[in-house]
């Protein structure tokens, strides 16, 4: 693990909770959007933009940059907040989420915002997009890696599994998929809507390298990424088990928060809880 000191880890944890606060502020301002997924994925996005990715916010088109593809684009508030904190665009612009003529739409739009690699919308398409980028990298003998973030719910889409087969056939070891395994979707628990487990064994049977990890443990997630990088002849899936609504007691593990924002009163309560968590991190508790 390169440079992951205790101080760096503490800084990453603090940033992740700051990002959660930014997400709440964005959503209550917009009056629409998704809460559960973005809060649950804050640790993973923080890990990527502040430790893992080879990228440059001042030069978003850096030819050798790593590519991050967000397939489940509805959780984009966490990507926007993280990118703003990393310096891709002014933090004040987060207040324009989902507003007319904003660059921050309800799904990422590639040509609108520098640093966004693909346009997303219909679920199940992002993995195929990432595979195309990874295959192009192989053909061009480039060293960049492609990270594709997906949801567990979109694994109910058949085209996801077509992409899974294609990636394995072409031995795309420069592709690392991270699935947000939070067990919820808009209509309820995934295992009630369309059971996915045993997910790890399914991916292994499709000839992928599969790793399970606590997606809200930054250190464990970074270790999993390092293991994935050592794979020579297979793509890797990191099954990141996260808590939807992480950090906000009344949102955690409640699928009703999958696709709705907090109102003003709920946002104030959430921000108080998240600030208390940040203070504990700063104190080292």
Domain of residue 17, CATH code: 3.40.50.970
pLDDT one-digit tens code per residue, 87-111? 999 999 999 999 999 999 999 999 8
Which pLDDT belongs to residue 122?
Answer: 85
Q: 272: domain range?
A: 6-283
Q: How many domains does the chain have?
A: 1
Paired tokens of 208: 């992928």
Which pLDDT belongs to residue 2?
Answer: 58
pLDDT one-digit tens code per residue, 198-248? 999 999 999 999 999 999 999 999 999 999 999 999 999 999 999 999 999
User: In a 3-state reduction of DSSP, which class is residue 169?
Assistant: helix
Query: Does a structural domain hold residue 21?
Result: yes
pLDDT one-digit tens code per residue, 54-71? 999 999 999 999 999 999
Closest CA to 172 of 199, 200, 148: 148
Residues whose CB falls within 8 Å of the CB of residue 32, separated by 6 or more in sequence, listed in order: 98, 106, 261
Q: Does the pLDDT at position 3 exceed 80? A: no
Query: Does a structural domain hold residue 141?
Result: yes
Query: Does a structural domain hold residue 53?
Result: yes
Cα–Cα distance measured from residue 241 to residue 178, given in angstroms and rounded to the nearest whole number: 10
Query: Does a structural domain hold residue 1?
Result: no
Residue keyed to tokens 């679920």: 123
Phi then psi for residue 265, to 5 deg, are -65, -45
Query: Does a structural domain hold residue 97?
Result: yes
Query: Does a structural domain hold residue 252?
Result: yes
pLDDT one-digit tens code per residue, 135-160? 999 999 999 999 999 999 999 999 99
């Amino acid at each position: 693990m390169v440079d992951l000191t205790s101080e760096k880890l503490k800084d990453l944890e603090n940033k992740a909770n700051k990002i959660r606060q930014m997400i709440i502020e964005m959503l209550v301002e917009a009056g629409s959007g998704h809460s559960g997924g973005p809060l649950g994925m804050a640790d993973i996005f923080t890990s990527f933009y502040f430790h893992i990715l080879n990228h440059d916010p001042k030069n978003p088109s850096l030819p050798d940059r790593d590519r991050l593809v967000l397939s489940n684009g509805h959780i984009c508030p966490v990507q926007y907040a993280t990118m703003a904190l990393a310096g891709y665009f002014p933090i004040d612009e987060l207040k324009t989420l989902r507003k007319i003529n904003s660059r921050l739409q309800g799904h990422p739009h590639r040509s609108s915002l520098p640093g966004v690699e693909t346009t997303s919308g219909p679920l199940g398409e992002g993995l195929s997009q990432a595979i195309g980028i990874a295959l192009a990298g192989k053909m061009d003998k480039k060293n960049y890696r492609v990270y594709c973030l997906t949801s567990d719910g979109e694994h109910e889409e058949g085209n996801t599994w077509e992409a899974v087969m294609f990636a394995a056939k072409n031995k795309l070891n420069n592709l690392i998929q991270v699935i947000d395994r939070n067990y919820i979707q808009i209509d309820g628990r995934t295992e009630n809507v369309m059971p996915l487990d045993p997910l790890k064994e399914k991916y292994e049977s499709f000839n992928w390298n599969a790793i399970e990890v606590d997606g809200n443990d930054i250190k464990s997630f970074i270790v999993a990424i390092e293991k994935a990088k050592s794979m020579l002849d297979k793509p890797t899936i990191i099954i990141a088990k996260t808590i939807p609504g992480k950090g906000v007691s009344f949102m955690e593990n409640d699928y009703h928060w999958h696709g709705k924002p907090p109102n003003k009163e709920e946002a104030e309560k959430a921000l108080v809880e998240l600030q208390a968590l940040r203070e504990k991190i700063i104190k080292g508790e």
